[in-house]
Structure 1
């Protein structure tokens, strides 16, 4: 059950989701009063949420600016994608062993649905997160799930989706399909390699996006 909007946990989820969606990009100043008004909640849960985000490294306090959304440098981004390749690959391999028939059907349905969202990168980014969450839940490893959920928090700082790049959305969906194919075949090695390849391609797309942004 999701926490109520008026709780500190609820405010935390609202702010984290806004970061993931690009509504609060890196460098954004975070004023309690403005955030409370924007999300229709009181300042107290906003204050609690900002403290939690700061403890996780997503919010920084800058001189003369106050709280701002943090950013990742190139080295941190590289480290993040390297670990994501390892963990997402492991999750897919375990899912090939442990996923139930129903979970496989859900994953296949997600892929088919996403083929209809190629013209909507924002919606595709949201369903992409849901797909990877379903993979890790199907892996049946609570420690791996916790690690990937922690990684999701850091990924929120990469708000601009690579799925808006030409052809990347379609490529990503077909990469998801390859992962599901391997899971349905109960081929753990192939599922892990498909997931790792997907992460490597996502990293390449991220690098291209960062270069395009610096040139703009």
Structure 2
């Protein structure tokens, strides 16, 4: 299925092709993606409405998150992800649990590749969202994760964070498999909290 202009630009931001502060020009985007300028213009307007793009004079640039926005985002993400884990513990099918277990096992080979591990991490979280079997929660988490794309670096690049994250993933899946809703909720919230702590440390070092 052919991707629309909105999805193409969003994926370009998500993969780091365009980073916070980069200027997005209609004609250049149309040439890059082989799409006419009208759908590009509509996609840019939609991304601006979602606060993924910001105005810099007459130009549109990829937005960046300040400290307060980052904190607010992680508060919301923590609660929504925790709820997704709780509902997954209640509703996930045997097959969905097996997929999560396979992901944890297979992702261990990526521990020294932060970029690949970051992609795998997004797949893992998305699978938990789907296993919650709540379409409205999935929609809200999609919006949160789109905003996460505005972070220039991944917390998984920090030394030792990859191993820690995978251990946390294993604990989350174990709780979901055992249908322990409270433990699944707590394990995923702890996972997000540790990721946030790591990111704050990264930011403090980059500001020295």
Q: Which segments of structure 1 move beyond 3 Å, counting only runs of 4 or more?
A: none
Asked if the contact 1:19–1:159 (Cα under 8 Å) also holds between the matched residues in 2, the reply is no
Aligned with 2:171 (options 172, 178, 181): 178
Q: Does 1:210 align with 2:206?
A: no
Assess if the C-alpha contact under 8 Å between 1:93 and 1:191 holds in 2.
Answer: yes
Asked whether 1:41 is paired with 2:39, we answer: no
Tell me whether 34-43 or 111-120 shows the greater mean CA deviation: 34-43
| Rounded Cα–Cα distance in structure 1 between residues aligned with 2:69 and 2:108 | 31
Distance 2:30 2:69 in 1: 31
- Segments of structure 2 that go 5 or more residues without pairing to the other structure are none
- Match of residue 21 from structure 1: 15
Which of residues 68, 76, 84 is equivalent to 1:83?
76
Q: In structure 1, which of residues 160, 168, 172 is the aligned counterpart of residue 161 of structure 2? A: 168
How far did residue 43 of structure 1 move? 2.3
TM-score (norm 2): 0.95
Determine whether 1:127 maps to 2:120: yes
Within the candidate set 188, 196, 199, 2:189 is matched to 196
TM-score scaled to structure 1, two decimals? 0.92
Partners in 2 of 1:136 and 1:122 — Cα distance? 21
The alignment yields a C-alpha RMSD, in angstroms, of 1.3
Q: Choose the corresponding residue for 2:133, options 110, 128, 140.
A: 140
Give 3-state SS (helix, strand or coil) of 2:133's partner.
coil
Deviations 1:93-117 (A, max 9, x none): 1101100000000000111111011
Q: How does 1:62-77 map to 2 (within 5 A)?
A: 62-63=56-57, 66-77=59-70
CA deviation after TM superposition for structure 1 residue 40, in Å: 3.2
Which residue does the alignment assign to 1:116?
109
CA drift of 1:24 comes to: 1.1
Number of equivalent positions: 208
